[in-house]
Amino acid sequence: MIFKVKDLNLKAIFLALLCIAASACAPLISNVTEDLTANLTIAVLNQEDPEIVYQGAPAYLLLLDSLVEGSPNNPSVLSSAASLYASYGGIFADDETRAKILSKRALQYSKHALCISYEVSCYWDDYPFEVYLSAVDSIKPKYSDLILTYSIASLVYIRAHSDDWNAIARLPHVQALLEHYLLIEPNGLNLDSVYMYLGILSTLRPPALGGDFIEGRKYFELAVKFSSEKNLSAKVEYALGYAKPLYDRELHDKLLNEVLLANPVERNYTLLNVLAQKQAKVLLENADDYF
């Protein structure tokens, strides 16, 4: 298996980022901003037409930038801005240059939000990996939403900067952070998405670079379970990340056909499910060329 960070599917990242913006980051913002962020985010998640999101999201990006200008050290405002920048840059950016710019801002916002709240994180980039792991192990549950936003923004950044080996080298750091999130938030929000990302990370790399397909399959199955099969992206990623590289045509087609037969309209999953069904259709149409 060839290691390609660009294989990382950013559509899979969209859901948790928006859920974080809607629910986790709101308490520290003013009531007006909280209501705006939460309600608009929920409207996006439940939108059945991706084109509407594509056309409308840039205005919201500018709005969040203005909120950051007014509250440059507010972790919640910064995290909300990071979430939408990463989501839009990962899914709707027209070209690689634009994706790099948007993902860089997402990472900057999320990193600043975490640094303000948890000072040790300000120096993570300079730590040797073992020291970094020790620092991650000390993170308390009260920072869980911030580290999740930072982790996902990091994945978006790494994917957009896949020509930079320094960025690629951060993949194990992100995986460690997501695994720690599960330890401190075993019953938290977005567990299906976190398990899905861990499945992607486990199967994105060959075993020689830390990949583990057995572990990846376990994570994908947990993602499906924890969403009660409502998150259709989990099945698409399972097919794409596990079944396809291992040439398991039966599992590959089974998962994708289940996606196509499902009703995509599920509260807070609708937009992602519509995108997942489009991807499932393409994967099935091209399956004969691969298997």
Q: For 38-83, what is each residue's pLDDT tens digit?
A: 566 666 666 677 777 777 778 878 888 888 888 889 888 888 888 8
Count of domains observed in the chain: 2
- Look up residue 62 and give its two tokens: 């500018």
The number of beta carbons lying within 10 Å of the beta carbon of residue 50 is: 18
Of 59 and 134, more confident: 134
- 1, 119: one domain: yes
- Look up residue 230 and give its two tokens: 């409502």
The number of beta carbons lying within 10 Å of the beta carbon of residue 108 is: 16
**Closest C-alpha to 157, from 262, 2, 1, 5:** 5
Length, in residues, of the chain: 291
Half-sphere exposure of 197 (CA within 13 A, CB side): 30
Report residue 284 CA to chain centroid gap: 24
- 8, 151: one domain: yes
- 72, 134: one domain: yes
- Look up residue 156 and give its two tokens: 């978006």
What's the pLDDT score for residue 61?
Answer: 83
- 184, 98: one domain: yes
- Look up residue 185 and give its two tokens: 């938030």
- 276, 156: one domain: no
Any idea what DSSP says for residue 1?
Answer: -
Domain with residue 185: its CATH number is 1.25.40.920
The residue whose two tokens read 């486990």 is 202
Range of the domain at 158: 1-189
Contact between 156 and 13 under an 8 Å Cβ cutoff? The reply is: yes
Contact between 12 and 196 under an 8 Å Cβ cutoff? The reply is: yes
- 93, 115: one domain: yes
pLDDT tens-digit series, residues 190-209: 788 899 989 988 988 777 77
Amino acid at 223: A
- 218, 83: one domain: no
Which run of H or of E encompasses 78? helix 75-91
- 103, 243: one domain: no
CB-based contacts of 65-71 (< 8 A; 24+ apart in sequence):
67/33, 68/109
Report residue 153 CA to chain centroid gap: 7
pTM value is: 0.82
- 46, 89: one domain: yes
